[in-house]
Amino acid sequence: MKNLKKLIDPNLDEQKLDQYMSQILQEKFDQELKDKYSKKLSEKYNLDKEAGSERTMPATKKSWVLYAVIAFCLSLAAFFAMKKLSAKSSLNPEEFKMMAITYDEQNPFQAKVLTRNVVDEVKFRAFQDFENENFLSVVEKLEASPSENKEDLFLLAYSHFKLGNYKDAEQIFINIGLQDSDDNYLAEARFYRVMSLFADGKKEEGMIAMSFLAKDSWEYTELLKVINR
């Protein structure tokens, strides 16, 4: 702590204090900018520090054929599953959109937030905002201190969903679904990923995503309930 001790030294002269403050805040905000730009470069321009444009691995002719066959089989399966699902509901995409937007499950995730032991103060404030349903503030705070923690990601995605940022929400729900550390939030993330697609007016994509869910899963059953409501 010796550097911070220098800053709180009551005998520190004003000029020195200004100099130290400039230095630590420059480091803090430069880092925040770098994180923000890195995220945008990765998401918008597909450019990462390590892989960069070399991220796409060259594929052999044989593997392309294999990919094509798999893709065809998946599309076929999705098509039939979608047809089966569509039969359950005659709603048009706009009605699906309204159904997803107006869906309110009374935010069952709040209880988990209340009981958690948060050490980080910024996150703690974000969680408080979440409980108060101040979703804009949640997004601002959680995006300012990015985390790979599933719970943080879920709160961020859910807040985006509530704010109507369905594309952002869907992307984060997908990322949560890709984490296989444990089952926490996985079912909820899959459920809301489909809901985000519906809310974004993408009924068919939502139906395809839904058709890939296990038919005896919580998320599939819940989605059916919402659709048939």
Partner 1 sequence: MEDKNFGLTEATFQNMVNDLKSGKEELFEHIFLSQFEKSIAFIKGRYKMTQGQAYDACMDSLIEFRRCLLLDKIAYGNLNYLFTKMASQRFFKNVKKDNAYDEMPENMEIVDDEMILYSDEKIILEKAWARLGQNCQDLLKKYYYLNIKLKILAEQDSKKPESIRKQKQRCLNTLRINFQSLMKP
Task: Enumerate binding residues for partner 1 (CB under 8 A).
Answer: 1, 3-8, 17-30, 33-34, 37-38, 40-41, 44-45, 47, 49-54, 120-122, 125, 145
Provide CB contacts within 8 A for 203, sequence distance 6+.
91, 92, 93, 96, 97, 197
Using the minimum distance from each CB to partner 1, give the nearer residue, 86 or 145: 145
CA distances (Å), origin 49, targets 3, 41, 179? 31, 9, 21
Residues 128 and 114: their CA atoms lie apart, in Å, by 8
**52 versus 164: smaller Cβ distance to partner 1:** 52
Closest to partner 1 by CB, 36 or 83? 36
Min dist CB 35 to partner 1, Å, is 10
CB of 8 to partner 1, least distance (A): 5
Least Å distance between CB 44 and partner 1? 7
Rounded least distance, CB 195 to partner 1, Å: 30
User: Cα separations (Å) of 122 from 118, 125, 141?
Assistant: 9, 5, 7
- Looking up tokens 């101040």 gives 134
Closer Cβ to partner 1, 119 or 178, answer by number: 119
CA 208 and chain centroid, separation: 20
CB of 129 to partner 1, least distance (A): 12
- Location of structure tokens 């004003």: 14
Nearer to partner 1, 54 or 104 (CB): 54
Q: How far is the CB of 16 from partner 1 (least distance, A)?
A: 9
Q: Which of 171, 206, 219 is nearest to 91 (CA)?
A: 206
Is the CB of residue 47 less than 8 Å from the CB of residue 41? yes
Q: Measured from the CB atom, is 87 or 119 closer to partner 1?
A: 119
Tokens 């900018």 sit at which residue? 33
